[in-house]
Structure 1
Amino acid sequence: MGLLKEGSSGAFTTTHATNIHNALLGSSYNNHVRPSDVTNISIEFVLFSLNDLDIKSQTMSTSGWMTVRWEDPRLVWTKSSYGDIEYIYTKQNKIWRPELIIDNSVEGMDPIGNDDIFFKVKNTGEVRWDPPGLYVTHCDIDVTYYPFDYQMCKIEVTSFAFTTEVLTLNKTRDTVNSEDFNENGEWIFYSSRVEERVLEENGEKFSKLEFQIVFQRRPGYYLTNIVYPVILISLLTNLSFLLPTDSGEKISYILTVLLALAVLLTLVGDSMPSTSKHTAVIGIYISIILMMAALGIFITVLNLRLYLNTDQTDVPKWLQCFTFTVLLKINCKSKKVEDTKLQLVCEDDEMELQEINDGRKSLKRMMNHRSNTPVVPTEDEFPFECKEVSVFLDYFFFYLFNIVTFIATVVLFIIIAVCDVPPI
């Protein structure tokens, strides 16, 4: 530092600043030569905003800047000799700087910074560089618990030209600086972490920093526009079994519900990434409801054939046994048998069925049923017509489908509430 001339201390003047630049950045300074044998670079990432987190393309766009610091012994001066000037500013093409790139960038791999950015140089030789940027990086999206999901995305900063033998990247702090973060309407900044890594390439090792950021989705919009409609439409599927057969609208009604579910499944699928690595739980739920709607159409068609059977006494043997074993228990809470007719009092609407001509046979059959020893009746003994059995089946499947829908919905929310934990 013999080039520096002693002078009296005083306030800042352009002369003093110019003398510092001339003394330090003269012909003897080579900006292509690193300042020391092993240069330690400290980096801090200041996150300003989350511009976009695209689930479909699996990219994250953020705005912020890197605060990069290192020591250059060639840039040291005595404050008292230059008017107590502690800092000077110079462009990045004047002094040495590390070549840093965003390793997981999806919009080019150009080095960070440009020639118009100033460096802040302290009299102790510390150099501070604050290159701002718009960082568009790849993000591995996990939509398993969509729309109550957390997403962890990374910004990977790597030394491009210098190996770990001559340059190391060190974290300034353990987390991303989010003091100036602007809130996003879709995502909440949840947590962050900084990890020091080593990148191996062609037998050489390069220092790397990973800035890991976790965002939590705001679920309000998706609850209103996806989750609630799916649950409501699934309940509408079950109502098709309560629709009177004589109305002639059972098939058209359940087909309309099936198409509505298919549209919702398409909307959810359009917002999901085109990958098989992760499957959304809500997508599985909608698929189950869609399958139940398709099964409901199949059951309704068969039940209509039974209801419109020309021979109303032609009830299959297995269905007769199923009626006494299951359907009557589900549909009726008490049975009254008279000498000339059998009356069933139902839980909901107390529907009365037709009279049974043979009272003695009906009494014997009902007593056997009450004693929990069901007897397979003959065609002459079975007291119900096909229409009546069809009504019993509608109520049975209405209760069954409601139970399955309730269990599937509860399991969906339990999985989302219990299993969904933030990555860090």
Structure 2
Amino acid sequence: MKFTFSLVSITEIKEKSQMFTVYGFFETRWKDEYLQWNSSDYGGVKNITTYQNNVWRPEISALNTMIRLNLIGDPALPVIINNDGTVRWFAGEHFSVLCKLHIKYYPFDKQECSLIVGVWGYGVEDITFGTLDDKVMFEFYEPHVEWEVMDTLLTIDNWGDTPLLRVNFFLRRMPDFTVLTFLVPIILLSFLNLSVFITPVGEGKIGFSMTVYLTFAVFLGSLSSRLPPNSHETSILTVYLTALAVLCTCIVLISAIQTRVYIRYKDRPIPSSLRFLAKRHSWFCLSCCRRKDKYLLNENSVTSEDSNTIKADGKDSDFDNLKITWDDVMNGLDSRLFWLFISVVVTLTSSCFLTLFLSSQNTFKYF
């Protein structure tokens, strides 16, 4: 008994339930010596067509189905019988089978799903399985909008005394839609979140950081609803989003502490241990500068000669003589935090997407 499989469409792949649904039909051929005749005795008739229930046929079904276990075929389906006893039977159906999905590299993942077909009531001594072609036929196939069929393979196997036919599909997800609607907004949000360090203290700093944090939570929930609850293999994208959520939490806490300290101590002297934060640290000059119009010299502690020295060389040793405010301290802290967090975000983002990109360039993992 020999098989071939023609694929019509991939109906869906459900990551949550790990169900792979395809529509296609088998062409099955076998030889029945009781159905042979001499065509010259019957007016040159070389083949006839009848219903499948009028002849013997194998009782086959999909063994790894996720729905009701039914026999493949329908009483209304015809079979074609040649005068040499060869019987050709075409049986099509929707097959919903279990497919263990590997989600580590989502949405640049590649999957292997198999349709396993077996025969009931017969062993390997009674029926021998074979293939007419070791590849799936694509004459009637309509491409799927998300999944690309990279390769197929038909193999023969045994389950104890039962012969099996495996129809293997090697699939690759096309990530364009997910990248544009999911990944790009996440990357933009991760950098937008850093603008909280450009916002002055007391100007909606906490509210802005909380808004971005809640947005990340929505994206993380959306991703969790797509992927199966798998503790053995975690998606790299899930780890990336979780890391960004942790960074958002840190930013919210830092903003809250900054606001608390600023409101409580803004009218008090600045401790000497915090004065270094007011030094200019970045190109956008959030901290104090040594320009004359930016700072005023403390006349009680700085002489005219000291003032000329500061203007001339601006050494760090003279920085303590400058009059600074809590605004300068907070701006200097924001400057340092901005560069710290942007380096972390860039490192996380580049590591995550470089790993995903390289995985998409590799040969199929499960061949």
With the shorter chain as reference, the TM-score category is 0.7 to 0.9
- In structure 2, the CA distance between the partners of 1:354 and 1:392, relative to structure 1 (3 Å rule), is farther
Structure 1 residue 45: Cα displacement: 0.8
Which whole-Å CA distance do the structure 2 matches of 1:243 and 1:149 have between them?
Answer: 39
TM-score (norm 1): 0.76
**Number of matched pairs:** 356
CA shift digits 1:206-254 (9 cap, x unpaired) = 111111112322322212221111111111110001001242x000110
Letter in 2 for 1:226: F
2:290 alignment counterpart = 344
Structure 1 residue 181: Cα displacement: 0.5
Which whole-Å CA distance do the structure 1 matches of 2:102 and 2:33 have between them?
Answer: 47
Describe the SS at the equivalent of 2:193.
helix
* Unaligned 5+ runs, structure 1: 1-40, 335-341
CA contact (8 A) 2:25 2:93 kept: yes
State the percentage of identical aligned residues: 24
Structure 1 residue 81: Cα displacement: 2.1
Alignment of 1:23-38 (within 5 A): none
2:282 alignment counterpart = 331
Structure 1 residue 382: Cα displacement: 8.3
- In structure 2, the CA distance between the partners of 1:285 and 1:316, relative to structure 1 (3 Å rule), is farther
1:218 alignment counterpart = 174
Alignment of 1:197-346 (within 5 A): 197-200=157-160, 205-247=161-203, 249-308=204-263, 309-310=265-266, 312-315=268-271, 317=273, 319=274, 323=276, 328=279, 330-331=281-282, 343-344=289-290
Which whole-Å CA distance do the structure 1 matches of 2:282 and 2:247 have between them?
Answer: 22
Letter in 2 for 1:225: T
Q: Does 1:91 align with 2:43?
A: no
CA contact (8 A) 2:113 2:169 kept: yes
Which whole-Å CA distance do the structure 2 matches of 1:178 and 1:343 have between them?
Answer: 71
CA contact (8 A) 1:192 1:212 kept: yes
CA contact (8 A) 1:191 1:213 kept: yes
Which whole-Å CA distance do the structure 1 matches of 2:163 and 2:269 have between them?
Answer: 84
TM-score (norm 2): 0.87
Describe the SS at the equivalent of 2:72.
coil
Which whole-Å CA distance do the structure 2 matches of 1:390 and 1:354 have between them?
Answer: 18
Which whole-Å CA distance do the structure 1 matches of 2:136 and 2:101 have between them?
Answer: 20
1:72 alignment counterpart = 32
CA contact (8 A) 1:154 1:212 kept: yes
Q: Does 1:128 align with 2:85?
A: no
Describe the SS at the equivalent of 1:258.
helix
- In structure 2, the CA distance between the partners of 1:63 and 1:198, relative to structure 1 (3 Å rule), is same
CA contact (8 A) 2:46 2:83 kept: yes
- In structure 2, the CA distance between the partners of 1:355 and 1:368, relative to structure 1 (3 Å rule), is closer
1:33 alignment counterpart = none
Which whole-Å CA distance do the structure 1 matches of 2:210 and 2:142 have between them?
Answer: 47
Describe the SS at the equivalent of 2:129.
strand
Letter in 2 for 1:86: K
* Unaligned 5+ runs, structure 2: none
Return the match for 1:159 from 119, 132, 155. 119
Letter in 2 for 1:352: K
CA contact (8 A) 2:148 2:172 kept: yes
Structure 1 residue 65: Cα displacement: 0.4
Return the match for 1:408 from 330, 333, 348. 348
- In structure 2, the CA distance between the partners of 1:264 and 1:354, relative to structure 1 (3 Å rule), is farther
CA shift digits 1:294-352 (9 cap, x unpaired) = 100111122223433145434363x45xx37xx74733799xxxxxxx9536xxxx993
Letter in 1 for 2:290: L
Which whole-Å CA distance do the structure 2 matches of 1:382 and 1:109 have between them?
Answer: 83
CA contact (8 A) 1:315 1:385 kept: no
Structure 1 residue 268: Cα displacement: 1.3
Describe the SS at the equivalent of 1:252.
helix
Describe the SS at the equivalent of 2:34.
coil
Which whole-Å CA distance do the structure 2 matches of 1:116 and 1:391 have between them?
Answer: 80
Structure 1 residue 42: Cα displacement: 0.8
CA contact (8 A) 2:197 2:338 kept: yes
Describe the SS at the equivalent of 1:109.
coil
CA shift digits 1:18-66 (9 cap, x unpaired) = xxxxxxxxxxxxxxxxxxxxxxx11111100111212222212211100
Task: State the structure with more CA Rg.
Answer: 1
CA contact (8 A) 1:72 1:126 kept: yes
- The structure whose RCO (Cα within 8 Å, separation 6+) is larger is 2
Structure 1 residue 149: Cα displacement: 2.1
Q: Does 1:418 align with 2:364?
A: no
CA contact (8 A) 2:52 2:76 kept: yes
Letter in 1 for 2:358: V
Which whole-Å CA distance do the structure 2 matches of 1:331 and 1:344 have between them?
Answer: 14
Q: Does 1:392 align with 2:347?
A: no
CA-based RMSD: 2.9
Which whole-Å CA distance do the structure 2 matches of 1:343 and 1:138 have between them?
Answer: 66
2:152 alignment counterpart = 192
CA contact (8 A) 1:306 1:386 kept: no
Return the match for 1:106 from 51, 66, 88. 66
Return the match for 2:297 from 355, 365, 390. 355
Structure 1 residue 261: Cα displacement: 0.9
CA contact (8 A) 2:298 2:321 kept: no
